Amino acid sequence: MKMMVLKIAFRNVFRQKRRTILTALSMFGGFVLAAFFIGWADGTYNNIIDTFTRYNLGHVQVHEKSYSDRPAIYKTINNLPEIEKVLDNTKKITSWTPRLFSAGLVSVKDKSVGTRIIGIDPEKEVRTTKFDEKIVKGRMLAKTPAHEVVLGKGLARILKADLEDEIVVLSQGADGSIANDMYEIVGILDSGDEISDRASFYLHLTDARELLVLEGRIHEIAVTVNRLSDADGVVKALREKIDDPRLTVEPWQVFARSFYVAMKADKEGMWIMLVIIVLVVAVGVLNTVLMSVLERRREYGVLKAVGTRPSQIIKMVLAEVNILAVVCILAGAAVGLLLNYLFSVHGISLPEPISYGGMKFQHMQAEINARSFYIPAITVLFVATFVSLFPAFKAARTDPARSMRIH
């Protein structure tokens, strides 16, 4: 009997071509729109997140346990050589770089302003965050310490400083001494974050250690991974391998908490569009299936008259819709995959860049992932089945005598 119900359902799907096409277009269009929109949203947001973390903060960071909550010059990582071995032997890590931070006062001629002193390893920083590509004037720091600095463009503007100017820095050493020295400005940098660039003062890690009396110590290790999705796995691996209770390993969602919350809230807007698509599919399917049931009351009356049970009629109506839904999902998956592939490769260049997290983005791309297809598939199948229940029950309640008299 089950095979008979399926045969009848399959025959009915293609009996009224116009009605079938209308229903199919509703489900097919809904699937393609949902698949593309999810792929586009995921690609856009993941691109923003990856760019923001990969070229600034890193995907993963290592600190002294309480440094993130209350930074202090003496809260340092003291066993860098041991951690280097762990990082170099952990899969899915593409690069890493050590950093050192402090606050200070810098002066150029008669201009003075507060600054954030950042000690970096030039080679590792370039390899990890493409630091040299952000320099808009001058050059990168020398590979060996040479009393050189790179300023954020905002800081250079405030100080009215230019290349080859001498800049004096005043701070406090880790031993409580007054830290001061003179450096030459060799580069001006635009990180994309205007707020950060107003205070950024970069110098060679060795020069920074000498200035702040932090020989062999650092405050942070920024790590980048192959893909954004690898970050959690790398965090877990590093926590197991780094045998030091004084240190903590955190993913970008923790040390860039405000950025993560903003992105998460913005991404949730995607579900509003999905709800709209669901409503479009639901209305289209309900309308066409209900019309189909009303047009075929005589047929249902005959089926009941020959002993067909109401449950079998319900299954038949639902089977018709599900057969059509599966066909539309398969066709929609092919079109959705093509669209997402094209926009993942070529993307769209915006006429005006948008700012997010202090950075500017001008190129947006889609992404091909599993959820771009299984969410629309489940949604279309569920919505089509759910809205067909009312017409199905209506068909099952058909009075044989009355339906045949009407026709």
pLDDT above 80 (res 104):
yes
Same domain, 355 and 383: yes
pTM of the model: 0.74
- CA-to-CA distance for 402 and 393, rounded, in angstroms? 17
Mean pLDDT calculated for residue range 289-314: 68
Q: Is 163 in contact with 215 (CB distance < 8 Å)?
A: no
Q: Could you tell me which residues are beta bridge partners of residue 62?
A: 221, 249
Decide: helix, strand or coil at residue 147. coil
Same domain, 176 and 202: yes
Q: Would residue 257 count as lying in a domain?
A: no
pLDDT above 70 (res 303):
no
pLDDT tens digits for 222-251? 999 998 889 999 999 999 999 888 999 999
Q: Would residue 252 count as lying in a domain?
A: no
Q: Where are the beta strands (DSSP E) in 121-205?
A: 135-138, 148-152, 166-172, 178-189, 200-204
What is the share, in percent, of the chain residues with pLDDT greater than 70? Answer: 83
Domain boundary among 244, 275, 298: 244
Domain boundary among 194, 215, 244: 244
Higher local confidence (pLDDT), 383 or 9: 383
Q: Would residue 259 count as lying in a domain?
A: no
pLDDT tens digits for 133-186? 899 999 999 999 999 999 999 999 999 999 999 999 999 998 888 999 999 999
Same domain, 124 and 215: yes
Q: Would residue 314 count as lying in a domain?
A: yes
Same domain, 385 and 272: yes
Structure letter (DSSP) for residue 206: H
- Model pLDDT, residue 57: 87
Q: Would residue 383 count as lying in a domain?
A: yes
Q: What is the β-pairing status of strands 148-152 and 178-189?
A: parallel
Same domain, 297 and 381: yes
Alpha carbon 45 to chain centroid distance? Answer: 4
Same domain, 343 and 274: yes
Domain boundary among 188, 211, 244: 244
- Model pLDDT, residue 328: 87
Number of structural domains found in the chain: 2
Same domain, 273 and 229: no
Same domain, 224 and 115: yes
360 backbone dihedrals φ, ψ, rounded to 5°: -105, 135
pLDDT above 60 (res 5):
no
pLDDT above 70 (res 15):
no
Q: Where are the beta strands (DSSP E) in 272-378?
A: 348-356, 359-364
Q: Where are the beta strands (DSSP E) in 259-374?
A: 348-356, 359-364
Q: Would residue 59 count as lying in a domain?
A: no
The two structure tokens encoding residue 312? 């079998």
Same domain, 114 and 33: no
- Model pLDDT, residue 353: 65
Decide: helix, strand or coil at residue 346. coil
Q: To which H or E segment does residue 88 belong?
A: helix 80-88
Same domain, 197 and 152: yes
Decide: helix, strand or coil at residue 172. strand
Instruction: Give the CA distances from residue 380 to residues 42, 313, 323, in Å, rounded to whole numbers and listed in that order.
Output: 20, 22, 12
Same domain, 43 and 175: no
Q: Is 249 in contact with 235 (CB distance < 8 Å)?
A: yes
Helices of type H across 296-309:
297-305
Higher local confidence (pLDDT), 297 or 130: 130
Same domain, 295 and 332: yes
pLDDT tens digits for 23-64? 778 788 888 888 888 888 888 888 888 888 888 889 999 999
- Model pLDDT, residue 236: 93
Q: To which H or E segment does residue 381 belong?
A: helix 371-396
Higher local confidence (pLDDT), 218 or 55: 218
Range of the domain at 120: 66-244
Confidence tier at 376 by pLDDT (50, 70, 90): confident
81 backbone dihedrals φ, ψ, rounded to 5°: -55, -40
Q: Would residue 316 count as lying in a domain?
A: yes
Q: Would residue 231 count as lying in a domain?
A: yes
Q: Could you tell me which residues are beta bridge partners of residue 179?
A: 171
Least confident of 60-69, 80-89, 164-173, 297-306: 297-306
pLDDT above 60 (res 280):
yes
- Length of the chain counted residue by residue: 407
pLDDT above 70 (res 379):
yes
